Amino acid sequence: MSSNQRSRRTPGVAVDEANNAVSKAEAIPKYTIPPARTEEGGQLTPSLKLKRNMVVREARVEI
């Protein structure tokens, strides 16, 4: 499978394949795709680094 085809798969398929390749203890039990982070939204600095405290505050329910 080419890398282009691999990148078009849904995240769920990729997680399932990864989980099949590792032990149950190493498997990914649950995942979420976070919303896009923007400088205007306050999650990124002008140099596009994540503001960790802001992201953690916004995503504390998921974490």
Digit-coded pLDDT (tens) for 5-52: 655 668 888 899 999 999 999 999 988 888 888 888 889 999 999 999
Residue 5: predicted pLDDT: 61
The reported pTM is: 0.52
Contact by Cβ (8 Å): 45, 51: yes
Instruction: Quote the distance between the C-alpha of residue 52 and its chain's center.
Output: 15
Contact by Cβ (8 Å): 57, 39: no
Residue 23: predicted pLDDT: 95
Instruction: For residue 27, give both structure tokens.
Output: 């498997």
Between 7 and 54, whose confidence is greater?
54
**What radius of gyration, in Å, describes the C-alpha atoms of the chain?**
16
